[in-house]
Amino acid sequence: MTASDELLAAYDAQLRTDAETPSALTVKHLGPLRLVTFSGGRGFITYQDLAGADRAQIERWVPEALDYYSQNPAIAKVEWKTRGHDHAPGLHEALLANGFIEEEPESIMIGAASALAVEVPLPEGITLRRVTKDADIRAMCAMQDLVFGEQPSAEYADAIVARAHRDPLFELWVADHAGEIVSAGRLEPVPGTDFAGIWGGCTVESWRGQGIYRALTAARASSALAQGYTLIHSDSTGYSRPILERYGFTKVSTTTPYVWKR
């Protein structure tokens, strides 16, 4: 096996379990599928693999899984998380036929936490910090929503605040300038594994290209390393992938979300 193969095998074995959804309210099993419900009216479908299912079986699972969520009026949005290395005949077509919309693929990146935990110079006036107060968390969530092209969501902010209160390992990091949050990201260590995830990384457009995202990533990696996590994983956009590659991270596969909205 190559180093990339070994990292992908570790990803599949350690992360594609209940460890993937620590903040789930409920989990229902449908064959190998895990139908997860989160707070804020969000559904999420994932699995370790599809157990060798053929096209006909997959075509039956997709509407059955969607029916589970559509019967719950509290569910407004469902994401089906696919991975590029899975054997999933007919899944793309079945998802589209049942009203899911394919979103942009991202790269699954894995690398050593020690490679990221480096000193990164910051622009003048920029400060990095971990946030724990509700007001700071809500301000961070609103900034992320706007950067990702969405209206600020009180439901999303409520879910992140609740998670922060409930999970002591869950860390929220921001970069400030003159009291304004200009970059942010989460660190999610996965207990019982070698991995910590870095998620939600984004920077206000006018502050991009100045090393702030790299510095925020380094801070999160340092925190993970201090807690004994040796590997970092991330689903990366075309913006963040080159940054991680410069630190020796490997693209082991791709992930593409398919989203259904009520």
Report which residue type is found at 173: W
What is residue 172's three-state secondary structure?
A: strand
What pLDDT, on a 0 to 100 scale, did the predictor assign at position 17?
Answer: 93
What pLDDT, on a 0 to 100 scale, did the predictor assign at position 239?
Answer: 79
Mean pLDDT value of segment 174-198: 95
What pLDDT, on a 0 to 100 scale, did the predictor assign at position 132?
Answer: 96
What pLDDT, on a 0 to 100 scale, did the predictor assign at position 118?
Answer: 92
What pLDDT, on a 0 to 100 scale, did the predictor assign at position 36?
Answer: 97
Mean pLDDT value of segment 23-42: 94
Residue written as token pair 């992930």: 255
Please state, in angstroms and rounded to a whole number, the distance separating the CA atoms of residues 148 and 154.
Answer: 15
What pLDDT, on a 0 to 100 scale, did the predictor assign at position 67?
Answer: 98
What pLDDT, on a 0 to 100 scale, did the predictor assign at position 9?
Answer: 96
Please state, in angstroms and rounded to a whole number, the distance separating the CA atoms of residues 1 and 100.
Answer: 35
Residues forming beta bridges with residue 129, ordered by sequence position: 174
pLDDT in tens, 92-149: 999 999 999 999 999 999 999 999 999 999 999 999 999 999 999 999 999 999 998 8
> Which percentage of the chain shows pLDDT scores above 70?
100
What pLDDT, on a 0 to 100 scale, did the predictor assign at position 39?
Answer: 84
What pLDDT, on a 0 to 100 scale, did the predictor assign at position 12?
Answer: 96
Window from 4-13, 114-123, 233-242 with minimum mean pLDDT: 233-242
pLDDT reading at 60 higher than 90:
yes
Q: Torsion over CA of 138, 142, 24 and 129, rounded to 10 degrees?
A: -60
What pLDDT, on a 0 to 100 scale, did the predictor assign at position 201?
Answer: 86
Q: Which two tokens stand for residue 235?
A: 């689903």
pLDDT reading at 152 higher than 90:
no
What pLDDT, on a 0 to 100 scale, did the predictor assign at position 15?
Answer: 95
pLDDT reading at 1 higher than 80:
no
At 53, the pLDDT band (50, 70, 90 cuts) reads very high
Residue 182: closest CA among 214, 204, 213, 152: 204
What pLDDT, on a 0 to 100 scale, did the predictor assign at position 171?
Answer: 97
The phi, psi pair for 156, rounded to 5°, reads -65, -45
Sign of the CA dihedral with 14 first, then 230, 1, and 251 last: positive
Residues in contact with 111: Cβ distance below 8 Å, sequence separation at least 6, in sequence order: 231, 232, 244, 247, 248, 249, 250
pLDDT reading at 23 higher than 90:
no
Residues forming beta bridges with residue 46, ordered by sequence position: 34
Indicate the burial class of 140 (C-beta count within 10 angstroms; 0-12, 13-18, 19 or more).
buried
At 156, the pLDDT band (50, 70, 90 cuts) reads confident
Window from 64-73, 143-152, 186-195 with minimum mean pLDDT: 143-152
What is the pLDDT of the chain when averaged over all its residues? 94
Indicate the burial class of 179 (C-beta count within 10 angstroms; 0-12, 13-18, 19 or more).
exposed
What pLDDT, on a 0 to 100 scale, did the predictor assign at position 22?
Answer: 85
What is residue 73's three-state secondary structure?
A: coil
